[in-house]
Structure 1
């Protein structure tokens, strides 16, 4: 079983390292987080707030990207 768990407190870097398929979500929201030196220290919630994005919508899109690219169990 695949573990899809991440929270608003997950760092951007940790998420991108574990699931690189989320990178297009950051691009769609015009976020410069991917490759940013602060991504190891910024949480997903921090990033959403910095870019004035609804954190709940952002988390939903990230989860969708992971689920859509993962094989069905």
Structure 2
């Protein structure tokens, strides 16, 4: 029972971190570009944008794996 509580607390912390990292990312062209065809210029992520992007992937992957582990225990 103790392990499950610890995993849930870690998952809660990861959820909060994931929200913060997503909010810190630079805004793109928006939803209108997906349907309007604008914003077709491809730019690479550099500096802090790249770090935030990679951090988002890492946190979301760990969050997903912890959700599966919580489901199994």
Q: Given the two structures, how large is their TM-score scaled by the length of structure 2? A: 0.32
Identify, as 1 or 2, the structure richer in helix. 2
Structure with higher Rg: it is 2
* Relative contact order, higher structure (CA 8 A, sep 6+): 2
